[in-house]
Chain A
């Protein structure tokens, strides 16, 4: 019998776009094994990509630590980076603006994180941004146990 998939994971990544792509693959390998609803998996992946890219491109972060927890009816994602202060919950949710043939492109990340997460909290401490996101996830009753534990 194979060991059950642990319900919490954490990993450090360097602050590069290549590492962000790696983090997406890392997240998918775990969220896939958890048997999450499709919408939850989509939202989790989307928010991770937006936070990571913002931290690298705008915050100039050198490193990021990502932690994920699956619980009975929710999944949480914590994103900690050492970039410039940035609260994705307070940043304006940008949309396309300007004329049809000369519209402005960019800055959509924070709005997407706000839209796709159920709860968002932010604090800045010791030179780090700490974003904690929560997603609803009515999980398959057969997948995993009820009590989360760390690896």
Chain B
């Protein structure tokens, strides 16, 4: 699985995955995601080119989301195909991380969350 990390406008990190998020894919993704979750701001994980995911892959994303949330950042997912989305919803992943059809709408949600957070600071 290819993992491409793009620093997008507005402090959002766009992580584009390409391939199968199977056991081999999760083993490749784990170290990359754990490094990202500890250092980056809010992240959009782009699954448009991911044809497969199972619970190991979901776990990789969940662990990173948890780390990001604890650091005051957020994660959103975009572009999941029907089957990938069914897996994400079956595990309840979408209750923690919102799913969007495309990068633009996911990034807009993250930007509005950041603004909301900043306005609440004393």
A interface residues, Cβ below 8 angstroms from B: 17, 20-21, 24, 38-39, 42-43, 45-46, 49-50, 53, 93-97, 100-103, 105-106, 108-109, 111-112, 115-116
Contact = CB atoms under 8 A, between A and B. Distances in A.
Interface stretch (B8-16, B57-65, B113-121): B57-65
B48 interface: no
A94 B58 CA distance: 13
A13 to B, nearest CB: 12
B93 interface: yes
Contacts of A45: 22, 52, 54
A56 to B, nearest CB: 10
Given A20-B23, A21-B23, A108-B58, A42 B96 contact: no
Nearest to A41: B52
Interface of B: 22-24, 27, 51-52, 54-56, 58-59, 62-63, 66, 69-70, 83, 86-87, 90-93, 95-96
A17 B93 contact: no
Contact of B91 (A17, A39, A100, A112): A112
B22 A49 contact: yes
A38 B70 CA distance: 37
B29 to A, nearest CB: 13
A112 B54 contact: yes
Contacts of A100: 69, 96
